[in-house]
Amino acid sequence: MPVHNADIAAMFEEIADLLAVKGDNPFRIRAYRTAARTLRGLGSEVAELVKAGEDLTRLPGIGHDLAAKIEEAVRRGSLAKLRELHHELPRGLTALLDLPGLGPKRVKQLQEALGVHTPAQLRRAAEAGRVRALPGFGARTEQRLLAALEAHASRERRFPRYEVRPYAEALAAYLRAGAGVTEVVIAGSYRRACETVGDLDLLAVARDGAAVTQRFADYDEVRRVLARGPTRATVILHSGIQVDLRVVPRTSFGAALHYFTGNKAHNIAVRRLGRRRGLKINEYGVFRGERRIAGRTEAEVYRSVGLPYIVPELRENRGEIEAAAAGRLPRLVERADLRGDLHCHTVASDGRDSLRAMAEAARAAGLDYLAITEHSRRLTVAHGLDADRLLRHAEAIDRLNEELEGITLLKGVEVDILENGELDLPDAVLARLDLVIGAIHSAFTLPRARQTSRVLRALDHPHFTLLAHPSARLLGKRAPCDLDMERVIRAARERGCYLELNAQPERLDLDDVHARMAKAEGVLVSIDSDAHAAGQFANLDAGVAQARRAWLEPADVLNTRALRDLRPLLRRTL
């Protein structure tokens, strides 16, 4: 069975979590986490490198031991080290680690103090009021854990889109290689670029539908076939993702693609327009009576109801039908519109490549400028820079700029917003930079009023430029901070600051709702890679997709400006 980068990264992250619960060597734990980040950031499958006999120790953060484990995972599909930890530690710890607000340290504390090893045991302890008595927990944390347990038990399982992507693209490529297959498209929420995906919908055009569904069922990564017929099939992959396949004739492809892309509310609105014209619209086509009049393409479906084509990212029934009818659909931002990137890291803090390597990778990615924004001193786990180190780093950036061609580096910092709203570095240092981006990296669970006040105070700082990953969420791992985003966005407008749409796929923060709110308030959004390695400028694609869901046009995005136009906007905030 093929093993993807995401599979091995998940194994390494689970090993790191379980080692942390054991209280193992922190350097070993960090090594596994670094390796997981490296794997997730690779532009190609590590399995192909293993197959080609490449030296894996040339990858950032991968030593001989981890290289051997990667090879083991690729060849066996599992890791002996992970099996050993599962045998050694109580069952259920992994499920506890999946709960928002419970990291390895807290799980270890629950285990040692209360004998809690499973979600069920945690629920009983919390309901009995025993969790709140532990140092660092309290009544509010206890109630949040109970709410998280309830949500975890009842929620539909959803996967972050970035985790699903390698499985979806590999399966689609496999089906395209089948005899007589002329088209395979991944539809559903994946095609609409939603942050998370419940299951995958694949649509194919082929001469022999039964042969395609048989090929689908025979795929190496299929764990279980739930149903299979001549034109449709449903399977569960070993990753746990459910995939539905439909094979349709060419004459119905556009109608079926529209239907299976969704969302449901958008489709209902289009069908309602069709009924007003005496038409019936379904997955088979557009019909007037018994005669099919359209359906080969999605554009035909929209034309039949008097609308121009609407891109998948907008199909959420949030005004796109009315905008299309009035000729007011936005010209959405595209990756080619981005002229620069205002957030990245090098080996000077927690990045994995040098200043020069990051500059050259940004230039190769088609960017004209790149802001170097190392972490500040408070974030010790990321080797944050104090004032002296930051100023020396700024001097190194100036020296490198004298040598570089085709790319300009900007001097910046990702400074911690402290719990009281102050910034982690002195004004005299911040004033010497081209931009200052502020971020929350601690105290994620402050009550709404305090968290909002904290951010508002930071925005008022005279050297504040850009609010990085504003909600501080990690998809599926950490809930967003409880912020009054409407107040934050309006304060950014009044202060003349900007908001980031952080394109790290596990963040995608701002979300599409708040990014659209920023657009409405006239606050520019910066789509940034937050790259920690030279290969991670590809993150920008995910950020652009999120921005398109938010209706952002090039003029709404800060870093679509040429550098000569950007500099005055940055100076305005310093």
Query: What's the CATH code of the domain at 537?
Result: 3.20.20.140
- Domain assignment of residue 257, yes or no: no
- pLDDT computed for residue 108 by the predictor: 83
Q: Are residues 16 and 100 in the same domain?
A: yes
Task: State the Cα–Cα distance between residues 387 and 133, nearest whole angstrom.
Answer: 40
Q: Are residues 517 and 408 part of one domain?
A: yes
* Within a domain: 256: no
**Which of 81-90, 94-103, 177-186, 463-472 shows the lowest per-residue confidence on average (mean pLDDT)?**
94-103
3-state secondary structure of 409: strand
Whether 140 and 164 share a structural domain: no
What average pLDDT does range 281-309 have in this prediction? 97
Segment 219-248 mean pLDDT? 93
- In a domain? residue 542: yes
412 and 455 co-located in one domain: yes
Range(s) of the domain holding residue 244: 159-248
**Radius of gyration for the alpha carbons in the chain, expressed in angstroms and rounded:** 25
Please indicate, yes or no, if residue 216 is contained in any of the structural domains: yes
Query: Are 542 and 460 in the same domain?
Result: yes
Query: Is the CA virtual torsion 440, 441, 443, 444 positive or negative?
Result: positive
Co-location of 236 and 270 in the same domain:
no
Please say which residue of 113, 136, 154 terminates a domain: 154
Same domain membership, residue 87 and residue 20: yes
- The answer to whether the CB of 341 falls within 8 A of the CB of 528 is yes
> Can you say whether residue 404 is alpha, beta or left, with left for phi > 0 and alpha for psi between -120 and 50 degrees?
beta
Query: 542 with 396, same domain?
Result: yes
Mean pLDDT across 316-328:
96
Which range has the worst mean pLDDT, 77-86, 256-265, 305-314?
Answer: 77-86
Kindly state whether residues 284 and 410 are assigned to the same domain. Answer: no
184 and 94 inside one domain: no
- For residue 574, the model assigns a pLDDT of 58
* Whole-prediction pTM: 0.82
Q: How far apart are CA 549 and CA 373, in angstroms?
A: 27
Mean pLDDT in residue range 408-429: 96
Does residue 85 lie within any of the structural domains? yes
Domain end call among 222, 248, 274: 248
* 485 has pLDDT over 70: yes
Same domain, 69 and 132: yes
Residues 270 and 217 in one domain: no
Q: What is the pLDDT of residue 156?
A: 59
Confidence tier at 88 by pLDDT (50, 70, 90): confident
Q: Does 546 reside within a domain?
A: yes
Q: Where are the alpha helices (DSSP H) in 380-477?
A: 387-401, 427-430, 448-459
**Mean pLDDT of the region 530-552:** 95
Distance of CA 138 to the CA centre of its chain: 31
pLDDT score, position 239: 86
Instruction: Average the pLDDT over 378-392 and give the result.
Output: 87
> Where does the pLDDT of residue 111 fall: very low under 50, low under 70, confident under 90, or very high at 90 and above?
confident
> Number of structural domains, the chain?
4
Domain end call among 192, 213, 248: 248
Q: Helix, strand or coil for residue 242?
A: strand
pLDDT score of 97? 78
Mean pLDDT of the chain: 92
Average the pLDDT over each of 87-101, 259-273, 424-438 and give the range with the smallest value: 87-101
Q: Is the pLDDT of residue 84 over 80?
A: yes
